[in-house]
A and B are shown apart, each in its own frame.
Chain A
Amino acid sequence: MALKDVEVKKKMNQFLYTVVLLAFSLPIITGFSLLILSSFSNEMVTNFDFLKTFLTLQNWKLLFQGRIALTGGLRENILLYAFNTLIVALGVAVLTTFVGTISGYAISRMNFKGRKILLIMMLLLHALPGSVLIVGVYFLYRVSMPTNYQFIRYFSFFYVIIARAALEVPFSVWLMKGFFDMLPWEVEWSAIVDGASRWKVWYRIMLPLIKPGVVAVLIFGFLAGWQDIIYVRTFLIDKTLATFIESNLETEVAYMPLLAAAATFYLLPTVLFYVFSQQLLFKVYAGGIRR
């Protein structure tokens, strides 16, 4: 509940708080706005120097034509890269949600030996740096690679998705556990007494009840997969938007407004997703750590 439910707010305080808030938020607003603006300009406008600049759609035209510079370069298929990024993101989303939901249910609902250790482990795994893991993950990739060339490309997608989703599993398990914790026991109890298996209960009864939670974890997983750069760079054979930007950000020869357009394009789903699912995200983050 908010304070306004209780009484009339003091106007002076309100004003002060708003000003403070705006001041703190200014860097973020400025930084992102200028980048997006630059993608519509003939040069980077990050220094408020608008004298020689004019708005243009040229950068976006070039981007979708697959150019990496004003002249030269090969034609890249930016939509294909977006599609590749999408596959990774969806894969991570689905896998993380699935794993988190079933594990979260069990930990929330069932008492079994090792439950406590499991939860502690999930928390501590969060302390393992990705940069350390990656040498080992690469080793594993090398060792498990199929020899048939036809399959390698699919394998690389497969591997990236599972490896990246793995990094989100501890978090998603904790989160879903928290959501399940919020649900009353009665509905489940009656279903079990009637003879339903745990799986049926989970699927038919519990899942629909925490739909918002499931959707939220899907979104988190999607965004984690969408923004990944390290794993995708190391393991994926195809390019995603992240690797496309990073491998062409050579400040000596790059035409930066074009890259700003690529960055804005890359940013788009992020903005879309959470603008529309804001309240949901809030509930999720908080719900996950309720006791």
Chain B
Amino acid sequence: MPRVVKKFDSRMIEPWAFVAPALIIVLIFYFLPMILTIYTSFTPLRNWNISRYAHQIVGWRNYQRLLHAILNDPSVRAVFLTTFVFVSVTLTVNVLGGLLLALLNFFLGKKSSSLINTIWLLPRMAPIAVYALVWYYFFHGSKMGTLNSLLLKIGVISQPISFGQEFLPLGPWSVIVFVNGLVGVSFGLIVLSSAINSIPSEYLIAARVDGATDWQICRRVLIPQIKWHLMYVTTWQLLSLLTSYAHTYLLVSWKLVNKTYASPWALYVYDLAFTGVFDQGLAAAAGTVLVIVGGFLGWFTLKILGFDKLMGQPRGDL
């Protein structure tokens, strides 16, 4: 392609002019806060009293306290376990659930898929306060709870069960996986559904002509064709789950679920900063640790997936 030498300078700057707003926003509201958070982890900041504590440096004390808690406090150790279980199980639920729904979408046709999408997008789109309220009543540990009253009515149980507070740790784990899973499934549903829809029809016609059953179509045609999309969904959801706490924190503060076993690391950080003794210094330390782990995991996953495949070259240039 011919090069227009005249606009050389502006062409070098031009892309940066376009991405500048995004860069500035990301710089100010991601990088800067990250640095400030790391800085805070070396101060005794509490009760949001920046003017008093922000310039006091206490060295590694917050990290020492964190380590001490990890080694001695059974509920902090439980947070690690909860994070691991929560992320891995919810991830599986999200990906498999999304896949299942996408496949069902495919086999059921347009009218049903419309309805499916409406229902399954609701958890993601509903305001967090409203969404939490729905499950507060659903899992309430008395006969007032929806699930309890249902099970009581059909006679499966004779006493109401406090799902979030009994059968530790499975009870609270199940509740938070369920609540967050429903939100995450919609992501997989949408991405994989569209991916399936863009598979060229020739493959499907050929498979049907060969007399393949629905299951065989799934295994031989659909799933292999959307492999890349499955990887994308898995990566994105993995990172999302590591950092999610919003849908759980209300359930913990309303005491629906046992705090110890419903707190993944991200929620533990929030809890330290916003409740109890409002220890922002310790929260910053715990948060920094989380970021390091999350960053590593993200990088690792990208390496495995082969990031270049995700990117592709720009569409057109002079």
Contacts and interface: CB of A to CB of B under 8 A. Distances in A.
A120 B214 CA distance: 38
Interface in B175-207: 178, 182, 187, 190-191, 193-195, 197-199, 201, 204-205
B21 A129 contact: no
A48 B254 CA distance: 22
A227 B43 CA distance: 33
B190 A282 contact: yes
A241 B127 contact: yes
B217 to A, nearest CB: 8
B19 A118 contact: yes
Contact of A285 (B48, B108, B125, B191): B191
Given A25-B116, A48-B149, A169-B22, A136 B312 contact: no
Given A120-B307, A124-B299, A17 B104 contact: yes
Contacts of A241: 127
Contacts of A7: 208
Contacts of A271: 122
Interface in A14-36: 14, 17-18, 20-21, 24-25, 27-32, 34-35
A100 B146 contact: no
B170 interface: no
Contacts of B67: none
The dominant DSSP class at the A interface is helix
B126 A163 contact: no
A133 B34 contact: yes
Interface string B231-254: 010011001101111100010001
A248 to B, nearest CB: 11
Nearest to A291: B312
A192 interface: yes
Given A14-B107, A17-B108, A31-B146, A6 B208 contact: yes
Contacts of B120: 25, 28
A133 B315 contact: no
B224 interface: no
A115 B108 CA distance: 41
A125 B317 CA distance: 27
B273 interface: yes
Contacts of B112: 18, 21
Q: Which of A17, A99, A271, A282 has the most CB of B within 10 A?
A: A282
B60 interface: no
B18 interface: yes
B112 to A, nearest CB: 7
Interface stretch (A67-75, A105-113, A150-158): A105-113
A180 interface: yes
Nearest to A241: B127
Interface string B121-147: 111011111100111011010011110
A37 B283 CA distance: 40
A192 B283 CA distance: 52
B129 A102 contact: no
Interface in A253-272: 259-260, 263-264, 266-267, 270-271
Nearest to B214: A13
A106 B191 contact: no
A229 B214 CA distance: 44
Interface residues of A, number: 119
A51 interface: no
A20 B100 CA distance: 10
Nearest to B135: A31
Q: Which of B22, B313, B317 has the most CB of A within 10 A?
A: B22
Nearest to A129: B243
Contact of B129 (A110, A266, A291): A266
Contacts of B12: 112
Interface in A122-170: 122-140, 142, 162-163, 165-167, 169-170
B198 A286 contact: yes
A166 B147 CA distance: 38
A275 B118 contact: yes
Contacts of A98: 21
Nearest to A46: B137
Contacts of A214: none
B185 to A, nearest CB: 9
A125 B28 CA distance: 13
Contacts of B191: 285-286, 289
A286 B194 contact: yes
A246 to B, nearest CB: 6
A49 B21 contact: no
Contacts of A9: 107, 109
A-B pairs with lowest CB-CB distance, top 10: A286-B194, A136-B33, A132-B287, A106-B18, A166-B29, A136-B36, A129-B243, A47-B149, A46-B137, A131-B270
Interface of A: 1-7, 9-10, 13-14, 17-18, 20-21, 24-25, 27-32, 34-35, 38, 44, 46-49, 98-100, 102-103, 105-112, 115-116, 118-140, 142, 162-163, 165-167, 169-170, 173, 180-181, 183, 185, 188-189, 192, 198, 202, 223, 226-230, 241-242, 245-246, 249, 251, 259-260, 263-264, 266-267, 270-271, 273-275, 278, 281-283, 285-287, 289, 291
12 contacts: A21-B108, A46-B144, A123-B239, A124-B299, A125-B26, A129-B245, A129-B269, A129-B290, A130-B246, A267-B127, A270-B127, A287-B194
